[in-house]
């Protein structure tokens, strides 16, 4: 392989569906309908589900949480508060710092992000972690 290229792990749609299933099962277990989004490492949507009775506007926040977690390679809700509003405006709402977005890290490489919204921040994060637990070798937070 050329020194100009690096090997690249790619999250599959099948893996994204596993994450959705795990997050959905946890949401059902805790009785909190959720919107769940999975994106690749570039923030492109791979899979999405809005459970019955989940808050409709959480569609957008779940996707934004997944994108933010993937691009920043860090959980949302833990970033410094100072630049939040400016960065949210500058990215037209694509960067968000609400809890519930987690990077998908396998073998030390970020391959995407999962975002969950419609519950409390804690509920969203619990469901996102349940989704990550479905993927072999994925870190949880």
Instruction: Give per-residue pLDDT as tens, 57-115.
Output: 999 999 999 999 999 999 999 877 777 777 777 888 778 999 999 999 999 999 999 99
The residue count for the chain:
141
* Domain total of the chain: 1
3-state secondary structure of 89: helix
Q: Provide the strand spans (E) within the chain.
A: 35-40, 45-50, 101-106, 109-117
pLDDT of 27 over the 90 cut: yes
What is the span of the domain harbouring residue 93? 14-132
In this structure, is residue 4 part of a structural domain? no
What percent of the chain has a predicted confidence (pLDDT) above 90?
Answer: 82
Q: What is the CATH number of the domain that holds 61?
A: 3.30.450.150
Q: pTM (2 decimals)?
A: 0.94
In this structure, is residue 140 part of a structural domain? no
Q: How many CB atoms lie within 10 A of CB 42?
A: 9
């Amino acid at each position: 392989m050329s020194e100009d290229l690096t090997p690249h792990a790619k999250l599959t749609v099948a893996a994204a569906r596993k994450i959705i299933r795990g997050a959905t099962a946890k949401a059902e277990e805790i009785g909190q309908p959720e919107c769940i989004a999975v994106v690749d490492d570039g923030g492109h949507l791979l899979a999405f589900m809005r459970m019955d009775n989940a808050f409709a506007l959480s569609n957008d926040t779940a996707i934004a949480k997944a994108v933010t977690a993937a691009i920043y390679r860090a959980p949302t809700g833990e970033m410094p508060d100072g630049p939040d509003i400016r960065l949210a405006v500058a990215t037209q709402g694509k960067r968000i710092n609400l809890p519930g977005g987690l990077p998908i890290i396998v073998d030390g490489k970020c391959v995407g992000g999962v975002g969950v919204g419609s519950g409390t921040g804690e509920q969203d994060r619990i469901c996102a972690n349940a989704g990550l637990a479905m993927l072999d070798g994925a870190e949880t937070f």
